[in-house]
Amino acid sequence: PVGTSSVAIMVFKEMGVTFVIVGVVGVAVSYFAGDLMSYLPSLDFAARHPNGSAVYPEIYRNLLREKFNETTRKKLQRDYPYLVEALQSDDIEQFQEALVKAQQDDQQKKDAIENYKMEKAEKRKKCKTKKCKAELEGEPVIRRMSMMGPTPTKDDAYNRQAPELPAHMRCDACQAVVFQGAAAVEKALTSAFHGDAGARMESVLTLEAIENTCHNISLWMYEYGVAPSAQGSNLFIGPGVRESTHWEDEEGDTVVPQTAHSDGTGKRLSDACQMLLLGESPTEDEIAAIVMDAVHQGADTAAALRIAVCDNPGQPCTKYA
């Protein structure tokens, strides 16, 4: 196949015989014209077989040799080093093998480019966010930040009229209660053992510490709050529960949750504290024993108390998990 645009005349000697060849300059003369064709004029007598070998290997080699200046040599050395070696040799078979390999390399490059284009097109279809699209196109990612507060709902702790904590918040509330309760009891009992409280009974100290903690509305109101989550529900935020963390929305922008504090939240946590730590079980003596055993073992007192208060069957972190 030959694409023509003008006529070229070539005169050269081969084995002492002068040849005059009239050829047609074409846009593409090989069956699979690869990058190698960019190194020389496209002449009909420089055509290549489908496998890349030359139809007239001696003529084709001479054409390449004529183009073999310093600039071309560097390009060929970069792209087809084995062809440079073949051009410097008189072995026609080696030259043909080099052309075949060059054809294969050209096809691999084309296939790689096509595959890249197809993969990029597929990724572009799946890209839904501005961040994804910008990164795919190699463009700078413009990030935005927004603030989001909790959304009041009829059964939420953020709603002051809600009769009780919603189910998905009860385990969090239990964790907050045991965290504050264990810390208060540990402080009271370790102070007593250092002589600050004389011989007062452990149960009395424990009861006093728990009552003071549970009735401290300011503690529950200011240390704990309600913040939105990436899943859309409101969650408790505070010591012993979790910290507020930001997330990315569907567009790749950053959302920073805002924690809302209210007397309603404080009141409900205070009520939860009284129900969990001032009820029939566990008793003050049992709470004191759990906390002090953890202290003596160097363990987490809140984690130890949680097992007894939150994690047993029917308790908040199993019933509402």
Whether 162 shows a pLDDT value over 70: the answer reads: no
Instruction: Please report the pLDDT score of residue 28 as a whole number.
Output: 33
pLDDT, tens digit (0-9, with 9 covering 90-100), for 168-184: 889 999 999 999 999 99
What HEC string does the chain produce? Answer: CCCEEEEEEEEEEECCEEEEEEEEEECCCCCCCCHHHHHCCCEHHHCECCCCCECCHHHHHHHHHHCCCHHHHHHHHHHCHHHHHHHCCCCHHHHHHHHHHHHHHHHHHHHHHHHHHHHHHHHHHHCCCHHHHHHHHCCCCCCCEEEECCCCCCCCCCCCCCCCCCHHHHHHHHHHHHHHHHHHHHHHHHHHHCCCCCCCCHHHHHHHHHHHHHCCHHHHHHHCEEEECCCCCEEEEECCCECCCCEECCCCCEEEECCECCHHHHHHHHHHHHHHHCCCCCCHHHHHHHHHHHHHHCCCHHHHHHHHHCCCCCCHHHHCC
pLDDT in the model for residue 147: 58
Q: What is the pTM of this model?
A: 0.53
With a pLDDT cut of 70, the percent of the chain lying above it is: 70
Per-residue pLDDT band at 27 (split at 50, 70, 90): very low
Residue, of 279 and 181, whose pLDDT is higher: 181
Find the mean pLDDT for residues 248-256.
67
